[in-house]
Amino acid sequence: MDKEDLSFQVSQATGVNVRECYQCGKCTGGCPVGERMDLRPSVIMRMLQSGDAASEEEILRSNSIWLCLTCETCYSRCPMELDIPKVFDYLREKSYAEGKVNSDAHDIVAFHKSFLNAVERNGRLHEMSLVLDYKIHTGNLFQDVLLAPEMFSKGKLHILPERIKDRKGFARLFKDQFKKRKS
């Protein structure tokens, strides 16, 4: 394994040795979103084994890593107990940091980022702030507009956020976390 290889970085970061995969395909067979992926989980494992730079670039630009729901079915059924969701976490963070997010996944990533923005602001998630932040960043202004009044009437939506007290200590956790990102 070459130190430049993505598979080497994956094993350093996650402890998963992709070479142990023998392509049984159970991960792909059980994946609830496998049919929607451009590269299915077992294919990604095979491409990582190849050490081919073009394949590695294709993985980081795939929709698959973002469509993964982290349901952990692949990991639980893998005969080699390879933690594929953990590998995907690493690939997602890298794809995001290097500005290589697949265009199918922009809404998914925007949601994750809006989520973390909302948490950073108050320490706890304020669902209304999350949805507003997401709408502004994606332009999906009219999505679910009928849901909000009903949630409100059922007592499920708060107008004002709950805030934690130790804001300063909490802010430290977020400091410099997304600094190096290319956009």
Partner 1 sequence: MKIGFYPGCSLTGSSREYNESLLAIAKEAGVELCEIKDWNCCGATAAHNLNKELSLSLPARNLALAEFEGMDELVVPCAACFNRLVMTQHELSEKEDLRKLISEKLQMPLRNGIKIYNVLQFLEKHIVPRLDQLVKSPLTFDVACYYGCLLVRPQQVMKSERFEDPMTMDVIMQKLGANAIDWPFKTECCGAGFSVSKTEIVGELSGKIVRNATDRGAKAIVVACPMCHSNLDMRRPAIDNYLNMKMDIPVIYITQAIALAMGLTPTQAGIQRHFVPVNLTVNR
Region from 19-27, 42-50, 54-62, 71-79 binding partner 1, contact rule CB under 8 A: 71-79
Q: What letters, b where the CB count within 10 A reaches 16 and e where it falls short, cover 87-117? A: bbbbbbebbbeeebbbeebeebbbbeebbbe
Q: Residue 54 or residue 160: which is nearer to partner 1 going by CB?
A: 160
Two structure tokens written together for 115:
């989520």
39-58: which residues touch partner 1 (CB under 8 A)? Answer: none
The burial class, CB within 10 Å (0-12 / 13-18 / 19+), for 10 is: buried
* Alpha-carbon separation of residue 103 from 60, 61, 120, 179 (angstroms): 12, 9, 26, 22
75-94: which residues touch partner 1 (CB under 8 A)? Answer: 75-76, 81, 83, 85, 89-90, 92-93
Region from 18-26, 44-52, 53-61, 66-74 binding partner 1, contact rule CB under 8 A: 66-74
Check binding of 173 to partner 1 (CB under 8 A): yes
Q: Residue 52 or residue 76: which is nearer to partner 1 going by CB?
A: 76
Please identify which residue in 19, 52, 70, 99 interacts with partner 1, judged by CB under 8 A.
70
Helix (H) / strand (E) element for 108: namely helix 106-122
- In contact, 104 and 72? CB cutoff 8 Å: no
| Cα distance between the two ends of the chain | 30
User: What's the min distance (Å) between Cβ of 71 and partner 1?
Assistant: 4
Residue located via tokens 């077992």: 42
Binding mask of the shown chain, residues 140 to 159, with x at each position contacting partner 1 by CB under 8 A: ---xx--x--xx--xxxxx-
Q: Residue 42 or residue 85: which is nearer to partner 1 going by CB?
A: 85
Please identify which residue in 53, 71, 80, 171 interacts with partner 1, judged by CB under 8 A.
71
